[in-house]
């Protein structure tokens, strides 16, 4: 056990994203992990957060903070199914309870409900908008469908153009599945073509009735996907396009905080509050077993620093199978997300990551490049120097 994790729990800001609307959405993406959460709350069909709970959350969240900067993340379901006046009220409450703290807001959306009014509101109030796009049209429309199975790509692109028109800050969030995994460069070039400079993508790993879902990204394919994009990025785009996986990998290489929970040694710093005040360990663990309490009866500090949540975060490392603990890329991979640890190791031990094969391949491939960029950073030079070295073929000779 790493005692420092227990000894300094307040070293990281308390972070709980919130669901102003629960499992309700205008789309029906085939792979969505979240819409099934309706089943947890069969008695409440509207899934909307009351004004009373909103105020309770904002007050408690701001009072629990140990840092001067506070981030609110509005998530769903589809967060734009609440109206602008709901968010205006939230901003007023942030001011009321903020006591001079710097407050930032980010919102995650499928982008299809964006209008001029929404974009003006986001611009005026400095929201960062995360928009979900799975790549070019044929990739996006494969699974991101509406209630009548209609495609959503053009609506999302319209939303994106409104964000740009109003100068709203945005980033893109794509998921990688069994289909778009075969189009890594098209996927990457698409995000470059829409001038999205901060690109996040995550692999789909789900189980349906205990079996891997058909839309899961294949493990080896995930590695090939990352490698294909990395090869392009490392030659042309370092310092220009921010790809969360690669920056986090470099951070792990130099021993810094990777900034993304999945690639960190421990997790448990990002809770989630449902529309009715129930707080869970993580958005991917919204199951009764992982409920930490309800904001009506417990403070966020009590819940997020409870022994249960400390254990949740610690287990990310403690529960790794031996194959991971002895793996030569553990420092970079950290066994990725516990949600994805659904297969057995070579020795038959439970808890190996479904994507292990892909991650191992990826980390082995990037190692010499990461070593080089680490050396540049150690010498106070920009890691982007790697592009020049590669042009001159000086690194390929080293590999």
Contact residues toward ligand SAM (CB under 6 A) are: 25, 31-34, 75-76, 78, 108-110, 132, 173, 175, 202, 204, 206
Among 93, 114, 199, 327, binds ligand SF4 (CB under 6 A): 327
Can residue 156 be called a binding residue for ligand SF4 (CB under 6 A)? no
Can residue 73 be called a binding residue for ligand SF4 (CB under 6 A)? no
Which stretch of DSSP H or E encloses residue 77?
A: none
Q: Work out the angle at residue 107's Cα, subtended by the Cα atoms of residues 10 and 14, and round it to the nearest 5 degrees.
A: 5
Among 35, 228, 343, 377, binds ligand SF4 (CB under 6 A): 35
| Residues of this chain, 340-359, that bind ligand SF4 according to CB under 6 A | 353, 356, 359
Among 14, 21, 25, 80, binds ligand SF4 (CB under 6 A): 25
Least distance between ligand SF4 and beta carbon 31 (Å): 8
Distance of CA 345 to the CA centre of its chain: 26
Residue 373's binding partner among ligand SAM, ligand SF4, none (Cβ under 5 to 8 angstroms by kind) is none
Total residues interacting with ligand SF4, rule: CB under 6 A: 33
Can residue 64 be called a binding residue for ligand SF4 (CB under 6 A)? no
Least distance between ligand SAM and beta carbon 357 (Å): 19
Residue 206's binding partner among ligand SF4, ligand SAM, none (Cβ under 5 to 8 angstroms by kind) is ligand SAM
61 contacts 74 by C-beta, under 8 angstroms? no
> Which structure tokens are listed for 128?
């960062």
Backbone angles phi, psi at 78, to 5 degrees: -105, 110
Q: Residue 6 and residue 270: Cα distance in Å, rounded? A: 16
Can residue 337 be called a binding residue for ligand SF4 (CB under 6 A)? yes
Residue 337's binding partner among ligand SAM, ligand SF4, none (Cβ under 5 to 8 angstroms by kind) is ligand SF4
> Is residue 292 helix, strand or coil?
strand
Identify which range of 22-30, 65-73, 85-93, 217-225 contacts ligand SF4 by CB under 6 A: 22-30
Tell me which residue of 229, 259, 237 sits closest to 247, measured CA to CA.
Answer: 259
Identify the active-site residue in 283, 347, 371, 396: 283
Which residues have a Cβ under 8 Å from the Cβ of 112 and sit 6 or more positions away? 26, 27, 152, 155, 156, 159
Can residue 110 be called a binding residue for ligand SF4 (CB under 6 A)? yes
Identify which range of 21-29, 97-105, 183-191, 203-211 contacts ligand SF4 by CB under 6 A: 21-29
Among 323, 369, 387, 395, binds ligand SF4 (CB under 6 A): 323
> Which structure tokens are listed for 296?
């009506």
Pick between residue 241 and residue 246 the one whose CB is nearest to ligand SF4.
246
Q: Work out the angle at residue 128's Cα, subtended by the Cα atoms of residues 11 and 253, and round it to the nearest 5 degrees.
A: 50
For the chain, list the strands marked E by DSSP: 15-18, 69-74, 102-109, 128-132, 169-176, 198-203, 207-208, 211-212, 242-243, 270-273, 278-280, 291-294, 343-344, 350-352
Residue 283 annotated as catalytic: yes
The DSSP code for 144 is -
| Residues of this chain, 233-262, that bind ligand SF4 according to CB under 6 A | 261-262
Least distance between ligand SF4 and beta carbon 313 (Å): 7
Where does residue 209 fall: left (phi above 0), alpha (psi -120 to 50 degrees), or beta otherwise?
Answer: left
Which residues have a Cβ under 8 Å from the Cβ of 289 and sit 6 or more positions away? none
Pick between residue 132 and residue 281 the one whose CB is nearest to ligand SAM.
132
| Binding residues vs ligand SF4 (CB under 6 A) | 25, 27-29, 32, 34-35, 76-78, 110, 261-262, 267, 270, 282, 284-285, 316, 323-324, 327, 329-330, 333, 335, 337-339, 353, 356, 359-360
Please list the active-site residues. Answer: 283
């Amino acid at each position: 056990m790493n005692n420092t994790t227990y000894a300094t729990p307040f070293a990281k800001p308390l972070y709980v994203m919130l669901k102003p609307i629960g499992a309700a959405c205008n789309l029906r993406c085939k792979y969505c992990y979240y819409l099934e959460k309706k089943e947890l709350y069969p008695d409440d069909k509207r899934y909307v957060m009351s004004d009373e709970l909103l105020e309770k959350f904002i007050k408690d969240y701001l009072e629990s903070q140990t840092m001067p900067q506070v981030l609110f993340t509005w998530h769903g379901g589809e967060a734009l199914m609440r109206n602008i006046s709901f968010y205006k009220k939230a901003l007023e409450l942030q001011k009321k309870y903020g006591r001079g703290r710097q407050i930032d807001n980010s919102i995650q959306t499928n982008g299809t409900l964006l209008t001029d009014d929404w974009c003006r509101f986001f611009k005026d109030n400095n929201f960062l908008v995360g928009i979900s796009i799975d790549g070019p049209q044929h990739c996006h429309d494969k699974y991101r469908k509406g209630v009548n199975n209609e495609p959503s790509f053009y609506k999302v692109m319209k939303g994106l153009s409104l964000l740009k028109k109003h100068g709203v800050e945005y980033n893109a969030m794509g998921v990688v599945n069994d289909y778009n995994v075969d189009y890594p460069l098209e996927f990457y070039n698409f995000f470059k073509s829409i001038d999205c400079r901060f690109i996040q993508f995550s692999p789909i790993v789900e189980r349906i009735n205990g079996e891997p879902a058909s839309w899961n990204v294949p493990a080896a394919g995930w590695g090939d996907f990352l490698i294909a994009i990395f090869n392009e990025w490392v030659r042309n785009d370092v310092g220009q396009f921010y790809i969360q996986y690669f920056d986090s990998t470099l951070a792990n290489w130099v021993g810094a905080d990777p900034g993304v929970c999945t690639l960190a040694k421990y997790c448990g710093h990002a809770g989630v509050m449902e529309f009715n005040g129930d707080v869970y360990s993580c958005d991917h663990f919204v199951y009764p077993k992982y409920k930490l309490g309800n904001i009506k009866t417990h403070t966020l500090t009590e819940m997020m620093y409870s022994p249960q949540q400390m254990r949740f975060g610690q287990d990310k490392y403690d529960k790794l199978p031996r194959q991971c603990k002895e793996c030569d890329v553990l420092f970079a991979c950290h066994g990725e997300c516990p949600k994805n640890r659904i297969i057995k190791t070579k020795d038959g031990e439970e808890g190996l990551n479904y994507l292990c094969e892909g991650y191992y391949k990826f980390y082995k491939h990037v190692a010499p490049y990461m070593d080089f960029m680490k050396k540049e950073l150690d010498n106070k030079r920009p890691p982007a120097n790697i592009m020049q070295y590669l042009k001159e073929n000086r690194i390929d000779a080293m590999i």
